[in-house]
Structure formats: structure tokens, C-alpha cells
Chain A
């Protein structure tokens, strides 16, 4: 059964300038109840890897550098 990949606009945005994942921070990744934030292999910073978000905001609230912004998922806006 062949498969295709579709693109999706994700609701959570990480500001690479502010993110200190390269210094070992994993806070947002740790707290996300849906485990959708991962390290971006290309940048070494946190990013939203899967479009499966409850817009619940622990990622934003707990980020030590205010790098995370949670937007409402496009389908709900």
C-alpha cells in the first residue's frame, strides 16, 4: 500500500534565536502531554514535529527563554 506525505501548518512556533536547546534545555519537549515537540535535527533547536496539539500551553508557560508561542490550530481558528 503506497503512501504519500502531506504538509501541515503547525500551531506551535519556536523562536530559534531564543531557544537554548543547544545548551541542553528540553523543557518544552519534556512537558508536552502529546509528545509532539522534538529536537529539529537540522537546527538543534526544539520544533513541532507532529501536528497533534491540544493548545494547552505548558510548552509556552514553562520555557525558560519565552521562545515558544502557541497558536490556535488552523482548523479551529
Chain B
């Protein structure tokens, strides 16, 4: 069988999918490793301004800088914050690469805040150690990455949505099939190694505002990578450990305790009192946040109105110009002034994200997924709490290892029958004369997620939620798109749909509570270390059903002291 002319096939040594944060670093690294290798960066949007850091970033949330902390301290902190369920070797590989990466970015021209003596100006936000490095002038980070991509002659393919991974007869990855988001053309990239950097699954739940695109995550990160990995047979892990963040109500951007905390701001209840010890985002912190919201002392607020004028101006400068610069407009529209009023906060929709939490496609300390030749970095892969710097470090690790893998491999064979069937499936909504618009389909999925799958998790509710979702399977045959853009949304919506089911299946499998609010399972309120001190892996079984299994935790490389283990359980401010 040969492929028809309307499907172009491009041969590449290393394919990187997703050009946000981890992706550019993976592609640049691949070229640094082997300048003769052909490297393609495939991006759904435009690499110039795509992903979580499109406008810059307020700071590094997890910088391991000598003199402030050692990699071992960091591994301990993240192990404790994540209730012990971590691949420590993976966290360690990050921690050991952290400082070199900061210096590399610094050399490239990324500006990090320094003190009078020229040292990095580290701030304490975490419960135990000091890991936050502000970058108030971090606007140019995407420009700097873009320049490097050009210099290394990475092939950039913008406005293509990767939709399915391809595999050869031996089960190794052999590239991907992608959809042009402007012309609805289908392309195939045949690759010897693939690095996935598709970001978080940020469109599973519905924001409180009801606006489909008013998510915490950049909405182009809708779980494409999670769904692709699942359908290709990769294992995903920790999906029951949702990402849920404390955000500005309705605006749904970070309240930025990491920015305001070191300057004296804090999270307060309606009486203006502090109720959590530590503003670092963890499931335990979110549990206290939720309790306060529901417990009669809500709403919860970001409190800055006690600060001096110059401090407020400094905060405004950072928060209104950098990472989410429309924030000032949001406040202006409501007449909110940090000087005179507290700012209302709320809980975000649920998502999968290793960057902030611990849910994603399983990878080990080499960035390898469970599929040979397939690597994963950043928010979509499973190294917990990795944030922006983790995306860079693992982008680099994956870039190195994927290049090595590609060197040792022949050009893989394509499964043409699979490609043709996929082309027809992907384009189907465009061929129909009418049907269900993607926005309606997606709204319904995400509304069901909010109604039935958000914590507190209850078996009966999740049963209903999953049944209602499964009843929507037939609706896929009726999805209708009028143009290429709506076709993009129709394909995204199917991935959102997959992720919603994954959230239910993984949550019901782990019959205990863990990670505070993230997996607060009302039917099983206690943490059960006897049975559940393990990872939960989700995968597609031999009947094409979503299944789960446990995976033992690898021996720790850094032991915890007994008294440290519960540090994150003591989040609530004690009455005096």
C-alpha cells in the first residue's frame, strides 16, 4: 500500500511535539548533540508565543541553587510534598541539573533577579527550603529560545496539531500524524525518536466562569499528549492526583503568592486572618483552602492591603506586566485596588499536570516513556512539581537521549493502513453536513467533570459521571466542523473526553485518600500506606479498555527522617 498524494510524509531523525518550554530546549539540545541530525519542532500554535510562558514568567518556582539548598534537600521536600509517591531518581536528575540550567539560561540572556552582591536573589516560599528565584523582567524568554532554534537550524512546523503517534512492527515509536489547523491538511512525520512536550491537560474541568477558554493552563494544552500516549499504549501515572490550584476568582490566573509572599502578602480568610502556614501549592494546602472556602470563613482572599505603597507598586509592576499581564485590566474592571481591598480567590478546575502536581505520562529519570523511542518532558510527563525549570531540564535530558536513540536506528516502516484510517477519522467532522458542534460536546464533557469528578470524590458520583461520559461515545460520530479551525477543536474535544474518563478511572482505582484535596476520596477518607504506597499506572488494555495497575515505588535515593514525613500535613495555622 502507498499513501495518497494528499498526505505528505517528512523524514526526520528527532521529532519534538510541542514548542512551548520543554520542546524548544529538547530540539536545541538534539542539535547541540548532533548537528547533523535532522530535528523538527512541531507546534500547534506558533513557537514564538506558544505555551505556558508565552509572555514570560514571574520566577523559577523550584531552583536548586548552591548555598541555598542541595539536591538532596529538594528531593526530600518534593517527596514529602507529594506524600511519598515519587520516583526519587527522576526528581534527583532534575535537582542535579537545575543550577547548570539556570546558568545556561542566564548566559543566553534570560534575566534572573540578583542581589547587591550579584548573587541569585533566592526567596523562601516552600514549607521547608528556599527555592524561588524571581525573574521580574522575564518577558524575553520565548524570544531567546526562538533565536537559539534558528541558530541551530531546527525545522519549525507551526500550526500543526499532532493527533496520533505511529509505531513500527516492533512497537517502537515511528513518528506522528498531524492536522494542519488552517487548511485541514494531513501530514505524517516519520521519525526515529519522538519527544513529547505537549504541556498539561488543562481543559478537563470547566472554570467557574463557564468560559471554556478561561482556564488556568494555556488552553492549547488540552491533553493531546496524554491522549496520544494512551492510544499508542504508553502508561500514564498519578492521574488521580489532580492538579487544582488556588487562583484569582474568575480571572483564573495565579494569585501569585510566590511573588507577593516574600514581600509580605498572604492568603487570608474573609476575616483577613492567615489560615495556612505555607503558600507553596500542594494538595494539603489546597485541602485547607477548600475547607476554609466551605467552612463559613470563606471566601478566601489574597491580602496585600496592609503593605506599604512602594511594595504594592513593585507587586503591580511584576503581576501586571509579566506572566499574565491582563490581570491589571481585570482588577481595573472591577475597581479592585490592592491598597484598599483584598482580592477574592477561588479553586481552579481540575487538570493533569506534573509541572504543578504529579499526574502525567510515565517517564523515568532518562525521560523515557514505556514505549521505546518515545520520550516526554515538562507538564505532560510525570516528574512531579517540575515547573518551568523542570521542563527545561527534562527537555534537555530528553533531547540528549532521543538523539542517541535515533543515531542507533534505521528509518522505521510506516503502517499505511493505520494512517489512512486515522486520516478519515480525523477529517470526519468536516465531511458532515450538520451535527454536534465541538464547543457543545466539550462543554458537556467538562460540565460532567465538574459535577461528578471534582473532589471531594465519591464513588457513586464518579460511577454516574463515567456512565454519562461513556454515553457520549456515540456522539463522536456526529461531531461537526464547518472549517479547519472547528476541526482542530473537534479533535481537541475528543482528547479532552479521553482525559475526563482517565480522571474517573484512575480516581476510582485508588481506594484511599492522599495528596490532600487532589485525591480526597470520601468513601476512603484515610491514607492507606499498607496497600497504596505505590504508583497507579493507567493504560489501554488488550480489550481497548482503560485499565489500571499498581507499580512499586523504586527505592529512595534520599531517605526521609521520621519527623519530616508529616511536615506537609501540618498546613493549618494553629490557634494561639
Contact = CB atoms under 8 A, between A and B. Distances in A.
Given A3-B434, A76-B214, A77-B334, A34 B45 contact: yes
Contacts of B209: 73, 75-76
Given A34-B220, A57-B55, A72 B46 contact: no
B330 interface: yes
Contacts of B478: 1
Interface string B386-404: 0000000000000000000
B325 interface: yes
B293 interface: no
A35 B488 contact: yes
Interface string A18-49: 00000000000011111110000000000001
26 contacts: A1-B478, A1-B480, A3-B434, A3-B480, A31-B46, A32-B45, A33-B46, A33-B49, A34-B213, A52-B489, A56-B54, A56-B55, A56-B218, A56-B324, A56-B326, A58-B48, A58-B49, A70-B326, A71-B329, A72-B330, A72-B333, A73-B211, A73-B214, A75-B209, A76-B209, A76-B251
Given A35-B181, A57-B55, 20 more contacts: A3-B434, A3-B480, A32-B46, A33-B46, A33-B220, A34-B45, A34-B220, A35-B159, A52-B212, A53-B213, A54-B214, A57-B325, A58-B49, A61-B55, A70-B326, A71-B329, A72-B326, A72-B333, A75-B210, A76-B252
A3 B213 contact: no
A35 B211 contact: no
Interface of B is mostly: loop
Interface of B: 45-46, 48-51, 54-55, 159, 181-182, 209-215, 218-220, 250-252, 324-326, 329-330, 333-334, 434-437, 478, 480, 485, 488-489
Contacts of B182: 35
Q: Interface centre among A3, A34, A56, A76, by most B CB within 10 Å?
A: A76
A53 B213 CA distance: 6
A3 B45 contact: no
A71 B328 CA distance: 11
Contacts of A54: 213-215, 218-219
Contacts of B324: 56
Interface residues of A, number: 28
Interface of A is mostly: loop
Contacts of B485: 35-36, 49-50
Contacts of A2: 434
Contacts of A72: 251, 326, 329-330, 333
Nearest to A70: B326
A76 B488 CA distance: 25
B48 A31 contact: yes
Closest 5 CB pairs of A and B: A58-B49, A31-B49, A33-B45, A75-B211, A55-B326
